[in-house]
Amino acid sequence: MHDVKKVNVMEGILDENDHIAFHVNEKLSKDKILCVNVMGAPGAGKTTTLKNLIRRLDGLGACVIEGDIESDIDTQELKSLGIKAYQINTFGACHLDAPMVQSMVDSIDLGSGGILFIENIGNLVCPAEFSIGEHVKMLVASVTEGSDKPYKYPLAFEKADMIVLNKTDLLPYVDFDEEFFMKGVRALNKDAMVFKTSGRSEEGFVEAAAWLSWKASQVGNGSHHHD
Amino acid sequence: MHDVKKVNVMEGILDENDHIAFHVNEKLSKDKILCVNVMGAPGAGKTTTLKNLIRRLDGLGACVIEGDIESDIDTQELKSLGIKAYQINTFGACHLDAPMVQSMVDSIDLGSGGILFIENIGNLVCPAEFSIGEHVKMLVASVTEGSDKPYKYPLAFEKADMIVLNKTDLLPYVDFDEEFFMKGVRALNKDAMVFKTSGRSEEGFVEAAAWLSWKASQVGNGSHHHD
């Protein structure tokens, strides 16, 4: 949140946001579409992770809504690979919110089944505060960011259902203390799945894709609204 | 900004913020202290950059105000090196603002002369919107974040007086297109100084420290309020 003086304004916005997020989730669940909110710092490797996951989700349809302040670099790249991708530009706003996602979801034909990935703005703070209708919050963290990130940015780690620890190919060249990192993660979050991945070595994506496929198979079979 | 619906609230807050930022800047200028607002994504290497710069600012006194959502990991590390460091915790807020900085500056004895570094929250979006009384905005960007960052997060690059392109020791292991990065930077910002640095090889810090020393020598000799 930007300022303590705005707490009341923010509370109203969060209530309204959650209400709309609930409806987005309800619609996607009805269509048996798993919605994944992809969060992480700038440059953590969110788009690369999506490219690598989607390749391994064959059989399951997948598409991507890309959130960016400006530019459509990632959307163009995904499209060039034959992935269905749609762009939301926030022009200044530091996170996606449920109304933005609802407008997009209502204006495109997602069909039924499969996975909708929504790549949030690169920001380890604000996106964690806003539900956008997701079933799964995926946090992409890179080993180059350092092992102290769960201690410094706790909310994102606390809320994640799935943590992708990315760029493991760079481990020999950086100071990253995996034990300290995981201790920080587990102090905040006992349950999140953690996958170690690398866009270079392609480590870890088969396992992460398998877990997402399993989550996708559950959507619409009862109540799976993210709380 | 979090939401278009809050534009009026935000404008009021920004006006008040800028007013307080002006007074912080005025006080520091009178005391001939150069104030540097240190911004960058989580894990860009802001604290490591400060450690490396301060070692090379001998003669000039330097101290640090550390901004973090939670934790005082960096403050403790700086203190262990004999650097004067003070902690601001925002407990959720995604950037520092001028009132937070004013409270801290008013409560500590900064003496006169030298450089006050204020390390902002790791966030490539929101801190760029708020002046905190600085003379210089320093943006730390890491080569591991990728060369498209000026295109995706333009405001931070547009507002920077000094860009530290960090972790250059990792260039052999990542895809970083320096020409594309600099093209993006220069489209937004013709004047910012750009220093290529590495905490591992210690490249670039002598030059960056020299430029800051020169800036510090100018403070209080006329009007240098950052606009």
| B227–chain A nearest CA distance, Å | 20
Chain B residues with CB under 8 Å of A142 CB are 43, 144
B166 closest CA partner among B135, B200, B120, B211: B200
Query: Is B137 in contact with B57 (CB distance < 8 Å)?
Result: no
> Which of 187-216 (B) contact A at CB < 8 A?
none
Predicted local confidence at residue B184, as pLDDT: 98
Q: Least CA distance to A43: which residue of chain B? A: B145
3-state SS of chain A is CCCHHHHHHHHHHHHHHHHHHHHHHHHHHHCCCEEEEEEECCCCCHHHHHHHHHHCCCCCCEEEEEEECCCCHHHHHHHHCCCEEEEEECCCCCCCCHHHHHHHHHHCCCCCCCEEEEECCCECCHHHHCCCCCCEEEEEEEHHHCCCHHHHCHHHHHHCCEEEEECHHHHHHCCCCHHHHHHHHHHHCCCCEEEECCCCCCCCHHHHHHHHHHHHHHCCCCCCCCC
Query: Is B160 in contact with B138 (CB distance < 8 Å)?
Result: yes
Half-sphere exposure for A141 (CA within 13 Å, toward CB): 30
Predicted local confidence at residue B216, as pLDDT: 97
The pair of structure tokens assigned to B150 is 């000026």
> Which of 74-103 (B) contact A at CB < 8 A?
92-95, 97
CB contact under 8 A, B153 and A95: no
CB contact under 8 A, A122 and B152: yes
Q: Least CA distance to A147: which residue of chain B? A: B43
CA distance A195 to B61: 45
CB proximity A143 to B under 8 Å: no
Half-sphere exposure for A70 (CA within 13 Å, toward CB): 14
Environment class of residue A142 by beta-carbon count within 10 Å: exposed (0-12), middle (13-18) or buried (19+)? buried
CB contact under 8 A, B151 and A73: yes
Question: Among A125, A147, A149, which would you mutate to test the B interface (most chain B Cβ atoms within 10 Å of its Cβ)?
Answer: A125
CB proximity A121 to B under 8 Å: yes
Residue B105 DSSP SS3: helix
CB proximity B126 to A under 8 Å: yes
Query: Is B51 in contact with B78 (CB distance < 8 Å)?
Result: yes
Q: Least CA distance to B2: which residue of chain A? A: A93
Predicted local confidence at residue A13, as pLDDT: 79
The pair of structure tokens assigned to B182 is 């600099």
Predicted local confidence at residue B227, as pLDDT: 44
Predicted local confidence at residue A224, as pLDDT: 46
Residues composing chain B: 227
The pair of structure tokens assigned to A10 is 């923010």
* Nearest CB to B2; choose among A2, A4, A71: A2
pLDDT in tens, A79-98: 999 999 999 999 999 999 99
Chain B residues with CB under 8 Å of A92 CB are 1, 155
Residue A190: phi, psi to the nearest 5? -80, -25
Angle, helices B205-218/B46-55, rounded to nearest 10 degrees: 70
Query: Is B137 in contact with B160 (CB distance < 8 Å)?
Result: yes
Chain B residues with CB under 8 Å of A93 CB are 1-4
User: Number of A:B CB contacts under 8 A?
Assistant: 138
Question: Among A10, A17, A94, which would you mutate to test the B interface (most chain B Cβ atoms within 10 Å of its Cβ)?
Answer: A94
Residue B116 DSSP SS3: strand
Chain B residues with CB under 8 Å of A2 CB are 1-2, 10, 13, 93-95, 126
Instruction: Give residue B68's identity as a one-letter amino acid code.
Output: D
CA distance B47 to B83: 12
* Nearest CB to B148; choose among A9, A13, A73: A73
Q: What are the residue ranges in chain B where pLDDT is below 50?
A: 1, 4, 223-227
| B6–chain A nearest CA distance, Å | 8
Residue B182: phi, psi to the nearest 5? -70, -30
Question: Among B68, B88, B125, which would you mutate to test the A interface (most chain A Cβ atoms within 10 Å of its Cβ)?
Answer: B125
Residues forming beta bridges with residue B85, ordered by sequence position: B64
Chain A residues with CB under 8 Å of B97 CB are 3
DSSP H stretches of helix in B40-164: 46-55, 73-80, 98-107, 149-152, 154-159
Q: What is the mean pLDDT of each run of 10 residues along chain A (227 residues)?
A: 59 88 97 98 98 92 96 97 97 96 97 97 96 98 98 97 98 97 98 97 97 94 52
The pair of structure tokens assigned to B77 is 């590390």
CB contact under 8 A, B42 and A2: no
CA distance A160 to A153: 12
| A57–chain B nearest CA distance, Å | 26
Chain A residues with CB under 8 Å of B155 CB are 69, 92
pLDDT in tens, A191-219: 999 999 999 999 999 999 999 999 999 99
- Rg of the Cα atoms in chain A: 17
